[in-house]
Chains A and B, each alone.
Chain A
Amino acid sequence: MHGLVNRALQGFLVDTYGSDLWRDVVADANLPAEGFESMMHYDDALTDATITVAVTALKKDRQTFLEDLGTYLLAHKNQEGLRRLMRFGGETFFEFLISLDDLSGRAQLAVPDLDMPALEIRQKGLSRFEIRVKWSIKGAGFVFLGALRAMADDYGTLAIFDVEAGDDGSDLVVIELLDTAFAEGKSFSLGAQPI
């Protein structure tokens, strides 16, 4: 797994639960003492061990943990850069959902060796979207659940989300748009100085 992904996981644990918990996770999951490096690759097992150890230490269930991770990635101030990149996807949440088709391609334009989840976006009717998520991290659909909730909030859109675990290890995220102008979203200026 790419260091950027592991580094984001590390950021979530440190920013949300503090460096004491992170030190415990480093010890129990046998992580490199200085933490993950963004520009290096790590064995997938290390990423999984990090999640498993953190989930146990925090006494959370894995699905909630992954959902919180997704929310953190797009709502925490330390990840503002990522939120900005996602907002390039479209002027509205609807356009943003459609743009997820390009997510992997875009990310890999910037970081060619980045491990991105396989996404399949289907629009069912006017306001319903289904996104099939398949990744080397089990339960990645829940990361998307948290992330998409955060983005809907960012756009000021009211929507209902759900995740169904699929037969083949992939997850199906279901989005029902209710009101696309529910609240004023957060500001996004295309030409603002990059974070």
Chain B
Amino acid sequence: MTRIFDPKDRVIGLSGSALDVVMPMHLWFGPGGQIIRVGPTLAKIAGDQDLRGRDLFDVIHLRRPRAGKTLAQILSLQGARLSLTITGCENAQFRGVVVAMPAGAGGLINLSLGVSFAKTVEERGLTLKDFSPCDQTVDLLYLREANLAITRESRNLTERLQAAKLSAEKQAQTDVLTGLQNRRAMDEALKTMVDQPNPRFGLMHLDLDFFKEVNDTFGHAAGDHVLAHVADILRAEVRKTDIVARVGGDEFVLLFRDCDDPDLLDTIANRLIARLEVPTQFDGKACQISASAGSVLSSKYDNPTPDKLLNDADVALYTSKNRGRAQHTLFHDELMLPVPAAR
């Protein structure tokens, strides 16, 4: 901060119009605090009111520092950063600095637009001419516009990517973990198969036994390893044209084309269960599971629907579970009879 009465300081004379050029937002006040001169941009911001002749404290309201209620106090703030508002444009924050005039002749406040600059420029219709070439407010306005445009472009891109991701997920047919088909793919394949004349295929619902124990004992990584291993076995045991889908955490649906042989389904199921029961190693630990299965043959139905087939396979699967797991049941109507009451 410069001390103004330093004898080495030479007083300079500056015409009012020169002052307007250098500081278009200045406010010059006399020894009694009455306003003598107002820079042209500040006058434009103040609008219709003529600030000249009015008392300084009627016109400016110091927000920070608070201690600036009297002329002496304001002058003592020389060089400090002032934050203030002006009568008539209370929602605009100004930044300012004050210096005292020589020999107690009042003072000079220079102002600039604070962070609400964009709003003030818009409301008061300011133009490039209203700013000193040294004032970077115009650059800030430029940056603000450019940034808004760039942000909009970025947001557009993000929205497009998000939409594309959702649509890709919706259309996905593959289960990421096992590489098997997913529920959606199975539903579509099943619908196509029942829609054919005289459909002849087998549907098997297979549910892992003791999988939860592997997960709980050895952790999710072990569980994921087991699921991948199960997928390998299921893929290996079916024909290429058959469908193997993972439809839940440890639930699978297999669709066997051109199949109306109950013994064949039973053989396949038992072979699958036997292979699945061979423990697989993960991190040096043996993970042992088994599986229960239930099947239906479409040829047994006059009018097979996906819901009916899936439902009956489910009934058969739960019969396998109730009979002690690790086995296969082919659906037949007696399974639907009420369970006899326990004696």
Binding site for B on A (CB under 8 A): 4, 37-39, 81, 84-85, 88, 90-91, 106-107, 109-111, 189-195
- Given A190-B128, A193-B122: A106 and B142 within 8 A (CB)? yes
Selected A-B contacts with CB under 8 Å, 10 pairs: A38-B153, A38-B156, A88-B139, A88-B142, A109-B143, A110-B147, A190-B127, A190-B128, A190-B138, A191-B120
Picked from B118, B129, B146, B153, the residue with its CB within 8 Å of the CB of A85 is: B146
A81 B145 Cβ-Cβ under 8 A: yes
- Given A110-B147, A190-B121: A91 and B129 within 8 A (CB)? yes
Picked from A91, A190, A193, A194, the residue with its CB within 8 Å of the CB of B149 is: A194
- Given A106-B142, A110-B150, A194-B148: A37 and B157 within 8 A (CB)? yes
* Cα–Cα, bound, A40→B125 (Å): 37
* Cα–Cα, bound, A191→B147 (Å): 15
Q: Which residues of B (8-60) have their CB < 8 Å from a CB of A?
A: none
B118 A39 Cβ-Cβ under 8 A: no
B128 A91 Cβ-Cβ under 8 A: yes
* Cα–Cα, bound, A111→B154 (Å): 12
Picked from A38, A106, A109, A191, the residue with its CB within 8 Å of the CB of B125 is: A191
**B-chain residues with CB within 8 Å of residue A189 when the two chains form the complex:** 122, 125, 127
- Given A110-B150, A191-B118, A193-B122: A85 and B127 within 8 A (CB)? no
* Cα–Cα, bound, A85→B145 (Å): 7
Report how many residues on chain B are interfacial, defined by Cβ distance under 8 Å: 28
* Cα–Cα, bound, A90→B133 (Å): 10
**A-chain residues with CB within 8 Å of residue B157 when the two chains form the complex:** 37-39
- The answer to whether B123 has its CB under 8 Å from any CB of chain A is yes
A84 B153 Cβ-Cβ under 8 A: no
**B-chain residues with CB within 8 Å of residue A111 when the two chains form the complex:** 146, 150
A33 to chain B, nearest CB (A): 12
- Nearest A-chain residue to B164, judged by Cβ: A34
B126 A190 Cβ-Cβ under 8 A: yes
- Nearest A-chain residue to B148, judged by Cβ: A194
- Nearest A-chain residue to B119, judged by Cβ: A191
B160 to chain A, nearest CB (A): 8
Q: Which residues of B (97-122) have their CB < 8 Å from a CB of A?
A: 118-122
Q: Which of B121, B127, B141, B142 has the most CB of A within 10 A?
A: B142
A88 B121 Cβ-Cβ under 8 A: no
* Cα–Cα, bound, A91→B6 (Å): 41
* Cα–Cα, bound, A174→B64 (Å): 52
A192 B128 Cβ-Cβ under 8 A: no
B145 A84 Cβ-Cβ under 8 A: yes
- The answer to whether B144 has its CB under 8 Å from any CB of chain A is yes
**A-chain residues with CB within 8 Å of residue B147 when the two chains form the complex:** 110
B138 A106 Cβ-Cβ under 8 A: no
* Cα–Cα, bound, A6→B32 (Å): 63
**B-chain residues with CB within 8 Å of residue A88 when the two chains form the complex:** 128, 138-139, 141-142, 145
A186 to chain B, nearest CB (A): 14
A191 B141 Cβ-Cβ under 8 A: yes
Picked from A84, A110, A191, A194, the residue with its CB within 8 Å of the CB of B126 is: A191
**B-chain residues with CB within 8 Å of residue A106 when the two chains form the complex:** 139, 142-143, 146
**A-chain residues with CB within 8 Å of residue B154 when the two chains form the complex:** 39
* Cα–Cα, bound, A150→B279 (Å): 77
**A-chain residues with CB within 8 Å of residue B145 when the two chains form the complex:** 81, 84-85, 88, 194-195
